[in-house]
Amino acid sequence: MNDEALFLLVTIAGRTVATPAAEVRAVIEIEEITPIPRVAPHVVGLYALRSRVVTVVDARVSLGEAAERRFPAPGVVVRIEGHGYALLFDEVIDVVTARAAPSVAVLGADWARVVTGRITVEEQPVLVVSPAALVAGRERLAA
């Protein structure tokens, strides 16, 4: 974790976090979602992206926060185990180059499940979150 890498800065529930840019396929504006019945609360629905369908996941709800969905909304497209997902964040801020380090922050079980490290941006610590853990959602806590 000591080499510099690119990170995408986003906000979730008012907190600036980073995700590895190498895992990001695209940043999009999501306008209309097709709901899916009987899915986990953090799964919002489906979105048609360039003739493909991606599953939309609300990062706030994945972390146990209340949903605050307004459309159009910023989405970050990732591919996990061969499937496309669009993660809804509050805001997409910027791409930065930083060196990742282990995180010692304890923010509760939901955050501990998704945090993989930290970076420093403008002398401020920023947690690095895993897109795969956000997609997995809270159900993994009970397992």
Residues 71-126: tens digit of each pLDDT: 899 999 999 999 999 999 999 999 999 999 998 766 788 889 999 999 999 999 99
What SS3 class is residue 35? coil
Confidence of residue 143 (pLDDT cuts 50, 70, 90): very low
How does strand 52-58 pair with strand 83-88?
A: parallel
Asked whether the predicted pLDDT for residue 141 surpasses 70, the reply is: no
In 3-state terms, what secondary structure has residue 78? strand
pLDDT at 50 over 50: yes
Rounded Cα distance, 52 and 23, in Å: 18
Report the pLDDT value the prediction gives residue 105, as an integer from 0 to 100.
66
Mean pLDDT of 59-78: 91
Q: Given pLDDT bands bounded at 50, 70 and 90, which one contains residue 1? A: very low
Does residue 138 sit in helix, strand or coil? coil
| Structural tokens at position 62 | 């994945």
Q: State pTM to two decimals.
A: 0.90
Query: What is the pLDDT at residue 139?
Result: 67
CATH topology (fold) of 4-142: OB fold (Dihydrolipoamide Acetyltransferase, E2P) (2.40.50)
Q: State the DSSP string of 87-135.
A: EE-SEEEEEEEEE-B-------HHHHHHEEEEEEETTEEEEEE-HHHHH
